[in-house]
Structure 1
Amino acid sequence: MTTNLDRRLHAFRPDLADVRLQGQVNADRFVAGEPARVAVPVAALRHLPDLLHGTDTELLLGETVRVFDRKDGWAWVQADHDGYVGYLPEAQLAEPEAATHVVCVQRTFRYPEAELRRPPVSALSMGSRIRVTGEAETRGTRYLTLDDGTALIASHCLPLGQRLTEDYVKVAARFLETPYLWGGRSGFGIDCSALVQLSMMMAGRAVPRDSDMQAAVGSTIDRAELRRGDLVFWKGHVGIMEDERTLLHANGHTMTVARENFEAAVERIGWLYSQPTGFRRP
């Protein structure tokens, strides 16, 4: 049996593994796991059960996971939307429930009631999933209400399954000036590949999480063919072409999501690191 599987996308350890990997990996025990959902606005997913260990990616409120193990306050899970595997605090999970809506703006607030003058109880990122149980209106502002009585601005949410737009580049541009965050995948902080993934998700397109995985998306093109929506890859980095001359990317140079002249970006990144490794049309 082989263990040459990507640990980011396959749940296996010497003592425990996903039952779907039986016959592919060695483990003392195989389990099917149990469903759960993320119960906090943003949950960091780590390779190890240690708060001092770096974040690999983030999961958003309402996203569902399969839990393979719970131990010492940690849960070992696999995200349903992209298959990413890691650890998060067990307290950040709750029983699954069917979401009805998704947050469609970069950031929004959840209020204790349908009243924007009340102090919000939390802030949510684009991509967060909620279960709406009612509606309300206060001074002409429409709200969606949840089963605990809290409320969100109705125009900040879409019914689950409805696209925000077919133009994922337009979604990505909404994140301009959002802080760069290694492993970040939310409107509060985001990295280069998460900008691609989250923007495409809101346009109804599923792509993998990390840039090396995304480098297989779509078809290969030549540099001279670059146009809006194409992806440019470097080792460990990805950017989105906003047009044939402009790159949109979350980057460690500005520490934000920024627009940059493509040729200037190639020169700057090449001087420090390397030249682009590929060009793809999703």
Structure 2
Amino acid sequence: MSVAEAPDTLDRRRTGFDGETALEALRGQVDATRFVPGRAARVTVPETPLTRRTTGGADKALLFGEPVTVISESAGHAFVQSGWDGYVGYVTSDALGGAAETTHHLVARASHLYSEPHFKSRPLQTLSLGSALAGARIRDGFLETPDGFVPMQHVAERDVPKPILETALSLVDTPYLWAGNSAAGTDCSGLVQLAFRLAGHACPRDSDQQAAEIGVGLPEGAALQAEDVICWHGHVGLMLDADRLLHANIHHMAVAIEPLEAALKRISAYEYGEVTTIRRLA
């Protein structure tokens, strides 16, 4: 099974249509056998790949607690759409559980989900920065969730923004991982998306989408500043200031900081060519 090609007017990556079944909102836009409202669910494992086919490489990772809409299910796989960025694809059905409203996000680089509200209790799962939590109450310094307990030192309420560069800097030296967007591994656009999402800004998943949708484009020759997003064909990075670039890249195979001038020369000559646009939050 694979995701059907969407009409030219729709982005396949964000179109809830598996070739046979589509979300009701797409009626009249895709030629589906049936239309469904979808079923609300969430990810209940630390992270899981979202794939274009049931057997194939990942397009992105879904993190613990990420809300999804289940569009269809068959043979142990579910075709879903992420509630965070609209991305669609297949996940294994056992990675999903019942829906729950996100109340907090994990803002530490990593933490543990404990069986009891005590640091000596059994850890159930290791969670990544950016995981979503459904907290019922606080017990003995731990957030109680349907899945276990998380130390309050590691979480923040959903609507409390974390500065973009604070998130990005916390991931320096994280290994590069294609389609990754967690503390276990991330690619360039996954890093940017995670940093923007925890700051409260909507951000698409892929570099071409980010180059088109983040903030506004700067005119050629504009002075750079912190949080500007530099885009190439197939690559993005964040400015720490006017002279330093932070990005997940294959040259270092990690999230790294380097002088912008040196990065521009290398990327132009050996990797992605010239910069296509620079984006800034309006």
Compute the TM-score of the two structures, normalised by the length of structure 2. Answer: 0.92
Does residue 208 of the first structure (1) align with residue 213 of the second (2)? Answer: no
Superposed counterparts of 1:60-209, under 5 Å: 60-137=63-140, 142-147=141-146, 150-164=148-162, 167-209=163-205
Structure 2 distance, partners of 1:59, 1:14, is 22
Equivalent in 21, 35, 44 of residue 30 of structure 1: 35
Moved more, 8-17 or 153-162: 8-17
| Residue aligning to 1:230 | 228
What amino acid does structure 2 have at the position aligned with 1:205? H
Equivalent in 244, 248, 251 of residue 250 of structure 1: 248
**Aligned residues: CA RMSD:** 1.7
What amino acid does structure 1 have at the position aligned with 2:224? L
Displacement of 1:264: 0.3
Q: 1:2 to 1:123 in 2, by over 3 A?
A: closer
Contact 2:82–2:88 (Cα < 8 Å) also in 1: yes
Structure 1 distance, partners of 2:200, 2:9, is 31
| Residue aligning to 2:216 | 219
Q: 1:3 to 1:160 in 2, by over 3 A?
A: same
Q: Which runs of 5+ in 2 are unaligned?
A: 1-5
What amino acid does structure 1 have at the position aligned with 2:52? H
- Could you give the per-residue CA deviations for residues 27-63 of structure 1, whole angstroms, max 9, x where no partner exists? 222222111111111111000011xx11101111111
Following TM superposition, the consecutive aligned residue runs of length 4 or more in structure 1 with deviations greater than 4 angstroms are: none
Q: Which runs of 5+ in 1 are unaligned?
A: none
What amino acid does structure 2 have at the position aligned with 1:99? T
Contact 1:67–1:75 (Cα < 8 Å) also in 2: yes
Displacement of 1:122: 1.1
Does residue 55 of the first structure (1) align with residue 54 of the second (2)? Answer: no
- Could you give the per-residue CA deviations for residues 60-113 of structure 1, whole angstroms, max 9, x where no partner exists? 111111111000100000011110000000111111122322111111112222
Structure 1 distance, partners of 2:174, 2:48, is 18
Contact 2:42–2:68 (Cα < 8 Å) also in 1: yes
Does residue 9 of the first structure (1) align with residue 5 of the second (2)? Answer: no
Structure 2 distance, partners of 1:226, 1:62, is 35
| Residue aligning to 1:263 | 261
Displacement of 1:194: 1.2
Contact 2:48–2:91 (Cα < 8 Å) also in 1: yes
- Could you give the per-residue CA deviations for residues 232-251 of structure 1, whole angstroms, max 9, x where no partner exists? 11111000010110000011
Aligned length: 273
Identity of aligned residues (%): 40
Aligned to 1:196, the other structure's residue is in SS state helix
What amino acid does structure 1 have at the position aligned with 2:203? V
| Residue aligning to 1:44 | 49
Q: 1:107 to 1:269 in 2, by over 3 A?
A: same
